[in-house]
Structure 1
Amino acid sequence: MMRLRSLYPVALAAMLLAGCGQKTALEPVPPADLPPAPYGASAQPEADDLLELDTLAAPERSIELRRRSEEREDDPFDLPPE
């Protein structure tokens, strides 16, 4: 039991070091290739282009803070169980 506790700091250090790798440009693994160009596209998109999210995939958040409690509006779909 004592030996296992002495390994905790070593395991923690290993996990922290594993997460701080060097960041480089993304490229597919050598036998693989980027996906084919979409139908009708004139050029094949690069890896960075494929990682960009369109507006529908990541919409901007609209945060409306309530300053005081308010009565809920009537919900026609909030029906009691039958």
Structure 2
Amino acid sequence: MKPALALLVTLGLTGCGAANRLQPAKGDSLPVAPRGAIATPTPQQLLTATPQQRPQRSDELLRQSEERRSDDFDLPPR
């Protein structure tokens, strides 16, 4: 019973990933152009993330240990 249930769940999830080109619903149109834009963005442009939304990961490793600077605001509790 469990293998059949797993198979049904897997088949159901594979259908979720099959998406055709996104189009607005019939009778609807794309959103209006943002203020200052010359043209209305296409659906592909709206779905593409900007660098600010998905920043690149920095994998730079610390090459050598460095002494910390003194912190003038690191005061003992009162």
Fold-level similarity (TM above 0.5): yes
What corresponds to 2:11 in structure 1? 17
| Equivalenced residues, count | 75
> What are the residue-to-residue correspondences of 1:44-63 with 2, within 5 Å?
44-63=40-59
Structure 2 unaligned spans of 5+:
none
Q: Report percent identity of matched pairs.
A: 36
What is aligned with 1:26?
A: 22
Question: What amino acid maps onto 1:36 in structure 2?
Answer: V
Q: CA deviation at 1:53?
A: 1.1
1:78/1:57 Cα in 2 relative to 1: closer, same or farther (>3 Å)?
A: farther
RMSD: 3.0
TM normalised by structure 2 equals 0.63
Unmatched tracts of structure 1, length 5 or more: 1-5
Distance 1:20 1:59, change over 3 A: same
**TM-score, with structure 1 as normaliser:** 0.61
